[in-house]
Structure 1
Amino acid sequence: MTAVKFTGNRRFSSGELSRQITTYSTNGFQRSILRKEAFRFSEEILQSDVQRLLRFYQSEGFLNAGLAEPQLKIDQPAEKVEITFPISEGEPQRVDSVEIRVSADSASAGNLPRETLEKIPAVLTLTQGARFRDESLRADQAAIIDLLNNSGYPYAKADYELVLRRPENAVRITWSIQSGPRSVFGNVTVKGNSYISGKFIHDQLRFKPGQTYDARALQKSQEHIYSQGFFQFVTLKADLAETRSDSIPIEIQVKEAPRFTTRFGVGYGDEEKFRGFINLRWLGYWLGARRITLFAKYSALEPVNLNLSTYRPTILTPNTSMMLSLFVLRQNEPGYDVQRIGGSINLEQRFSNDFSGHISYILEKVNNDTSDISLTTRTIEDSIDNLYNKSYPVIGIEFNNSRPFFSPRQGYYVALNVSLPGFEIIKSTYQFTKIWIDLRRYGKFGVGSILAIRLKSGFIFPRNTDDFVPVEERFYSGGSNSVRGWGRSELGPLGQDGKPLGGNSLLEGGAEVRFPIWKILGGAVFLDFGNVWERTFFYRLDEIRYSNGLGLRMETPVGPIRLDVAWPIDTEKRPLQFHISVGQAF
Structure 2
Amino acid sequence: MRLWRRMSRNVAGGGVCAFAAMLGGQPTPAEAFDVSSLDVFGLFGSKEQPPAVSTSTLPYQLSFDLGDAADAKALTRTLQDASLLYRLRQDAPPDGETLARRMAADLNPLVDALWSQGYFNAELTIAVDGVALKPGVEPGAALVRAAEAHRNREPVPISVRVQPGPVFGLRNIAVVERGEGTPVIADPTKVSKLKPGDAATSGALRAAQAALVDHLRNQSRPLAKVVEMRPVVDHAARIMDVTYVVEPGPLAGFGAVTIGETGDIPPAVVRSFIYLEPGDPYSPKALADTRKSVATIPAIGSVRIREADKLDATGNLPVFVDVTERPKRLIGFSARYSTIDGPAVKTYWEHRNLFGGAERLRLEGDIFLAPRIDGTKISSFGDFERSDLGGRFAVSFMKPALWGTRYDWLVDGTGARERVGTNRYGGYTARYANVTTAIRQRFSDTFSVQAGLEVERGQTSDVLGQVDYTLVGLPLSVKYDSTDSLLDATRGIRATASVTPYPSFLGSTVNVVQSKAAVSGYYALDEDARYVLAGRVGLGSIAGEKLDEIPATRRFYAGGGGSVRGYAYRSLSPLGPLGQLTGGRSLFEASVEARIKVTDTIGLVPFFDAGMAFESSLPNFKQELQYSAGLGLRYYTPIGPIRLDVAAPLNPRKGDKPVAVYISIGQAF
Bucket of the pairwise TM-score, normalised by the shorter protein? 0.5 to 0.7
Aligned partners of 1:158 and 1:178 also within 8 Å = no
Deviations 1:446-490 (A, max 9, x none): x99746543424242424679943322222122333333432333
**Structure-2 separation of matches of 1:126 and 1:448:** 20
Say which is worse superposed, 533-542 or 171-180, in terms of deviation. Answer: 171-180
Structure 1 position 560, deviation (Å): 1.5
Matched with 1:137 is 208
Aligned partners of 2:268 and 2:404 also within 8 Å = no
Correspondent of 1:232 among 301, 313, 330: 301
The alignment's C-alpha RMSD in Å is 5.1
Classify the secondary structure of the residue corresponding to 2:559. coil
1:173-252 superposed matches below 5 A: 175-177=245-247, 179=249, 188=258, 190-191=260-261, 193=263, 195-201=264-270, 221-238=290-307, 240=309, 252=321
Correspondent of 1:259 among 300, 316, 328: 328
Matched with 2:435 is 343
Classify the secondary structure of the residue corresponding to 1:139. helix
Establish whether residue 304 from structure 1 lines up as the match of residue 391 from structure 2: yes
**Structure-2 separation of matches of 1:508 and 1:183:** 44
Establish whether residue 486 from structure 1 lines up as the match of residue 593 from structure 2: no
Correspondent of 2:362 among 270, 273, 293: 293
**Structure-2 separation of matches of 1:433 and 1:172:** 64
- Over 3 Å counting, the alpha-carbon distance change for 1:581 and 1:390 in structure 2 is farther
Say which is worse superposed, 459-468 or 435-444, in terms of deviation. Answer: 459-468
What are the ranges of 5 or more consecutive residues in structure 2 without an aligned counterpart?
1-62, 77-111, 120-164, 199-203, 371-388, 422-426
**Structure-1 separation of matches of 2:432 and 2:226:** 62
Name the aligned partner's letter for residue 359 of structure 1. Answer: Q
Matched with 2:495 is 415
Matched with 1:578 is 660
1:57-68 superposed matches below 5 A: none
Structure 1 position 582, deviation (Å): 0.7
**Structure-1 separation of matches of 2:523 and 2:283:** 32
- Over 3 Å counting, the alpha-carbon distance change for 1:328 and 1:267 in structure 2 is same
**Structure-1 separation of matches of 2:504 and 2:276:** 40
Aligned partners of 1:479 and 1:487 also within 8 Å = yes
Say which is worse superposed, 551-560 or 277-286, in terms of deviation. Answer: 551-560
Establish whether residue 330 from structure 1 lines up as the match of residue 414 from structure 2: no
- Over 3 Å counting, the alpha-carbon distance change for 1:317 and 1:441 in structure 2 is same
TM-score computed with the length of structure 2 as normaliser: 0.59
- Over 3 Å counting, the alpha-carbon distance change for 1:465 and 1:218 in structure 2 is closer
**Structure-2 separation of matches of 1:571 and 1:271:** 15
Establish whether residue 101 from structure 1 lines up as the match of residue 193 from structure 2: no
**Structure-1 separation of matches of 2:347 and 2:542:** 37
**Structure-1 separation of matches of 2:532 and 2:316:** 49
1:355-366 superposed matches below 5 A: 355-366=446-457
**Structure-1 separation of matches of 2:547 and 2:210:** 65
1:164-563 superposed matches below 5 A: 175-177=245-247, 179=249, 188=258, 190-191=260-261, 193=263, 195-201=264-270, 221-238=290-307, 240=309, 252-270=321-339, 273-300=342-369, 303-315=390-402, 318-334=405-421, 335-353=427-445, 355-374=446-465, 385-401=467-483, 403=485, 405-408=486-489, 410-422=490-502, 426-428=506-508, 429-444=510-525, 450=531, 452-463=533-544, 468-515=549-596, 522-541=603-622, 543-555=624-636, 557=639, 559-563=641-645
- Over 3 Å counting, the alpha-carbon distance change for 1:290 and 1:192 in structure 2 is closer
Deviations 1:356-378 (A, max 9, x none): 3332434223322334323xxxx
**Structure-1 separation of matches of 2:273 and 2:322:** 14
Aligned partners of 1:462 and 1:468 also within 8 Å = no
Structure 1 position 430, deviation (Å): 1.9
Deviations 1:218-276 (A, max 9, x none): 655544433322222232445649xx999988665443222222223345434553433
Structure 1 position 387, deviation (Å): 2.6
**Structure-2 separation of matches of 1:298 and 1:189:** 43
Aligned partners of 1:270 and 1:581 also within 8 Å = no
Matched with 2:69 is 47
Aligned partners of 1:340 and 1:364 also within 8 Å = no
Name the aligned partner's letter for residue 417 of structure 1. Answer: A
Structure 1 position 543, deviation (Å): 1.5
Deviations 1:85-116 (A, max 9, x none): xx999998576x865331xxxx8xxxxxx7xx
**Structure-1 separation of matches of 2:286 and 2:649:** 52
TM-score computed with the length of structure 1 as normaliser: 0.66
**Structure-2 separation of matches of 1:448 and 1:219:** 17
Name the aligned partner's letter for residue 386 of structure 1. Answer: D
Aligned partners of 2:470 and 2:507 also within 8 Å = no
- Over 3 Å counting, the alpha-carbon distance change for 1:46 and 1:164 in structure 2 is closer
Structure 1 position 520, deviation (Å): 5.4
Classify the secondary structure of the residue corresponding to 1:125. helix
Classify the secondary structure of the residue corresponding to 2:550. coil
- Over 3 Å counting, the alpha-carbon distance change for 1:332 and 1:177 in structure 2 is same
Say which is worse superposed, 206-215 or 539-548, in terms of deviation. Answer: 206-215
Name the aligned partner's letter for residue 475 of structure 2. Answer: P
Matched with 1:16 is none
Classify the secondary structure of the residue corresponding to 1:369. strand
Say which is worse superposed, 169-178 or 278-287, in terms of deviation. Answer: 169-178
- Over 3 Å counting, the alpha-carbon distance change for 1:475 and 1:260 in structure 2 is same
**Structure-2 separation of matches of 1:125 and 1:162:** 19
Deviations 1:38-58 (A, max 9, x none): xxx9851643738979x99x9
- Over 3 Å counting, the alpha-carbon distance change for 1:526 and 1:293 in structure 2 is closer
Matched with 1:146 is 217
Aligned partners of 1:126 and 1:136 also within 8 Å = no
**Structure-2 separation of matches of 1:451 and 1:181:** 34
**Structure-2 separation of matches of 1:208 and 1:457:** 36
- Over 3 Å counting, the alpha-carbon distance change for 1:475 and 1:136 in structure 2 is same
Quote the sequence identity (%): 16
**Structure-2 separation of matches of 1:489 and 1:221:** 38
Structure 1 position 502, deviation (Å): 1.4
**Structure-1 separation of matches of 2:278 and 2:629:** 58
Aligned partners of 1:123 and 1:140 also within 8 Å = no
Structure 1 position 311, deviation (Å): 1.1
Name the aligned partner's letter for residue 394 of structure 2. Answer: N
**Structure-1 separation of matches of 2:410 and 2:629:** 40
1:122-133 superposed matches below 5 A: 125-126=190-191
Aligned partners of 2:349 and 2:362 also within 8 Å = yes
**Structure-2 separation of matches of 1:123 and 1:325:** 54
- Over 3 Å counting, the alpha-carbon distance change for 1:141 and 1:398 in structure 2 is closer
Structure 1 position 181, deviation (Å): 12
Matched with 2:53 is none
Name the aligned partner's letter for residue 494 of structure 1. Answer: L
**Structure-2 separation of matches of 1:274 and 1:570:** 23
Aligned partners of 1:484 and 1:577 also within 8 Å = no
Classify the secondary structure of the residue corresponding to 1:303. strand
Matched with 2:125 is none
**Structure-2 separation of matches of 1:357 and 1:180:** 35
**Structure-1 separation of matches of 2:360 and 2:468:** 36
Deviations 1:55-76 (A, max 9, x none): 99x999x99xxxxxxxxxxxxx
**Structure-2 separation of matches of 1:571 and 1:350:** 45
Aligned partners of 2:462 and 2:552 also within 8 Å = no
Aligned partners of 1:204 and 1:225 also within 8 Å = yes
Name the aligned partner's letter for residue 288 of structure 1. Answer: G
Aligned partners of 2:475 and 2:501 also within 8 Å = yes
